[in-house]
Amino acid sequence: MSQLLTPVRIGRYVVPNRLVMAPMTRSRADSDGVPSELTVTYYAQRASAGLIITEGVFPSAMGKGYVHTPGIETEAQVAAWKKVTEAVHARGGRIFMQLMHCGRVSHPSLLGGATPVAPSAIRPEGQAWTTAGQVDFVTPRELSVAEIADVVDDYRQATRRAMAAGFDGVELHGASGYLPEQFLSSSSNQRQDQYGGPVENRARFVLEVLAAMVAEAGADRVGIKISPEMNYNSITDATPQETYAYLVDHLRGQGLAYLHVALFGAKFDFHALLRPRFDGAYLMGGGLTQDSAESALAEGKADATVFGSAFLANPDLPERFRVGAALNAPDRNTFFAPPTAQGYIDYPALAAVEAA
Ligand SMILES: Cc1cc2nc3c(=O)[nH]c(=O)nc-3n(C[C@H](O)[C@H](O)[C@H](O)COP(=O)(O)O)c2cc1C
C-alpha cells in the first residue's frame, strides 16, 4: 500500500502526504533580492506538497552567492515573501524557508564590492554566477570570532523575519559547500580556535546557528539539510562519518522538526548511519523516484521523501503519483533564468493537460 500519500508528523505539523518539495534556487528575484509575483504563483502551484521548502534565501546581504537570488533581510523582501506564504496557505499547504548563507561561494560583485567571508581564507575552485556571467571565485576573508557571533545573529534575525512573513518554519542549509559546511569540513576550515580543528569545534558554528533559529521559531519549526560526501563547491571532509555522526548526535534531544539528508553519489550509506541517531522526522532526498521513495518508506528508512526536479516540473506531483500519470520532464535550460515565467510557472498540471 502506498505510504507516500499518507499523513506524517513533521515537527509541529501533521502534513497530508510524505512528498516534500526540495529547496531549489531558481534565480528569479530582482536585483534587490525581492521575489516577484511569479514566485507567488510558482509556490502556490505546488501547495499540494506535504511540505514546501523554499529555494535558498540569504539571511543577510553577505550571504548572497548567486545573481537574482532572494533574501530575507529587508522590509521589501519580507513583504514579498508574505504574499508567497499567504498564497500557499490559502491552498492548504505548508512552507518552510531555507536559510542559505553562501560564505566563500560568492563574489565581490554580488556583495557590493566586499570580499566573501569564510572560516578560513581558502579559495574554492570554480566560478561564481554573477551579473557578468561566470567568474573565478576569490580568496575569502577569515571571519573573526566576534564576526562569527554577528553571523549567528544574522540567522536569528532572518528567522524572526521569516516567521513574521508567515512561514511555517525554517531550514538551515547545511549542505552544498556553503558557509555551515565550510565550518564543518576539514578542507575549508583550518582555524586554530574554538571553531576549528576537532569535530566538536568544526560543528560549533552549525549548532550555534541552529540554537539561534530555535530561539526564534521553536525547535519544532526548525529543520536542517545536510549532504555528506556530496563534495559540491570544492569541499571535502577527511572523516565524514565521524563528522556527521557527531553532528546528528548533538541534534538529537533538541526537539527539532526534521533532519533532511540528501545524498548524491556518497560511497557510504549515511542514511543507515544517521537515521537511527535522530529523533525527529527523517527526510530523505537525492535522485528519488516514486518507487524508490515508496520502498524507503516501506522499509522504515525515512518518514518523508524529498523531490527536487520532479516537483520543479510537476506542480501537481502528489496527484500524478496517485493516479500513476506520466511526469513532465524538467528543462535544465530554464532552471536559473531571471526573471522569466518560462520553465517556472508554465509546467502544466494534470487537469490542464487533460483539458488541452
Ligand atoms: C534547479 C535546482 C536548484 C537547487 N537549489 C538548491 C538550493 O537552493 N538549496 C538546496 O539545499 N538544494 C538545492 N538543490 C538541490 C535539491 O534540493 C535536491 O537536493 C536535489 O535536486 C536532489 O533531488 P532530485 O534528485 O529529486 O532533484 C537544487 C536542485 C536543483 C535541481
> What's the pLDDT score for residue 356?
60
Task: Report how far residue 317's alpha carbon sits from residue 355's, in angstroms, rounded to the nearest whole number.
Answer: 18
Q: Which band of pLDDT confidence, cut at 50, 70 and 90, is reported for residue 265? A: confident
Task: Report how far residue 15's alpha carbon sits from residue 31's, in angstroms, rounded to the nearest whole number.
Answer: 34
For domain 3-355, the question of CATH label 3.10.180.10 is answered with: no
- Mean per-residue pLDDT, 245-265: 97
Query: Which atom of ligand 1 has the smallest separation from the CA of 306?
Result: 26
pLDDT tens-digit readout, 274-313: 999 999 999 999 999 999 999 999 999 999 999 999 999 9
> What's the pLDDT score for residue 338?
76
Query: Which atom of ligand 1 has the smallest separation from the CA of 335?
Result: 1
Task: Report how far residue 72's alpha carbon sits from residue 24's, in angstroms, rounded to the nearest whole number.
Answer: 16
Helix axes 75-90, 145-164, angle to 10 degrees: 40
- The residue written with cell numbers 562519518 in the block is 241
The amino acid sitting at 341 is A
Secondary structure element (H or E) that encloses residue 97, with its range? strand 95-99
Secondary structure element (H or E) that encloses residue 193, with its range? none
For the Cβ of 335 lying below 6 angstroms from any atom of ligand 1, the answer is: yes
For the Cβ of 177 lying below 6 angstroms from any atom of ligand 1, the answer is: no
pLDDT at 353 over 80: no
The residue to mutate among 54, 225, 309, having the most atoms of ligand 1 within 8 angstroms of its beta carbon, is 309
Nearest protein CA to atom 21 of ligand 1, as residue? 308
Nearest protein CA to atom 13 of ligand 1, as residue? 24
Domain range summary for the chain, segments of one domain joined by +: 3-355
Expressed in angstroms and rounded, the spacing between residue 161 Cα and the centre of ligand 1 is 24
| 113 backbone dihedrals φ, ψ, rounded to 5° | 95, -10
> What's the pLDDT score for residue 120?
98
pLDDT at 355 over 70: no
CA angle 89, 95, 98 (to 5 degrees): 150
pLDDT tens-digit readout, 134-174: 999 999 999 999 999 999 999 999 999 999 999 999 999 99
**Exposure letters 225-264 (e unless 16+ CB within 10 A, then b):** bbbbbbbebbbebeebeebbbbbbebbeeeebbbbbbbbe
- 198 sits in the region (left: phi over 0; alpha: psi -120 to 50; else beta) called beta
Q: Is 136 helix (H, G, I), strand (E, B) or coil?
A: strand
Q: What percent of the chain has pLDDT over 70?
A: 99
Q: Is 317 helix (H, G, I), strand (E, B) or coil?
A: helix
> What's the pLDDT score for residue 306?
98
| Active-site residue, selected from the candidate residues 13, 42, 66, 178 | 178
Q: Which band of pLDDT confidence, cut at 50, 70 and 90, is reported for residue 354? A: low
Predicted TM-score (pTM) of the model is 0.98
